[in-house]
Amino acid sequence: MPKPAKGARLGGSASHEKALLRNLSTSLFEHGRITTTEAKARRLRPFAERLVTKAKKGDLHNRRQVMELITDKSVVHTLFTEIAPRFSERPGGYTRITKIGNRRGDNAPMAVIELVEGEIAKKATVAEAEAATKRAVKESEAAAEAPAEESKDA
């Protein structure tokens, strides 16, 4: 017999929590980062990471399973074509939660949940390192050629 999750539900009922998580994950995949309460961010993280894992598999069955939860086709397309390939080498941990303090009106603890930009940052770092290496090689070649040219002229 299915048993509900223990503890208080976000928003009251189980159906409202399910709808809330679906909407939060849609916004997360659409914008890349969202600001919400800490409790909602903690509940959203495993839900969203499961969807990214399904998107990484990329087959029709997993696409249909994701479409059951995220009904916006453009967001599902973005998830499968842009987000999932970015995390192809990453075994998990696709999201990051950063606490940002309390909300002004009701003093609720707030957090930013965002997709980790690991693959893009890694490529940028590698590109910078390669460029620096090329510059160093060119400088050393130029330094080696300069004295050689002077000795030929003399």
Task: Categorize the per-residue pLDDT at 104 as very low, low, confident or very high, splitting at 50, 70 and 90.
Answer: very high
CA distances for 81 relative to 73, 78, 85, 114, angstroms: 12, 5, 7, 18
Query: Pick from 131, 135, 36, 27: which is nearest to 75 by CA?
Result: 27
User: What's residue 135's pLDDT?
Assistant: 74
To the nearest whole number, what is the mean pLDDT of the chain? 87
Q: Tokens 């510059």 correspond to what residue?
A: 135
Buried b (16+ CB within 10 A) or exposed e, 43-78: bbbebbbebbebbbeeeeebbeebeebbebeebbeb
pTM comes to 0.72
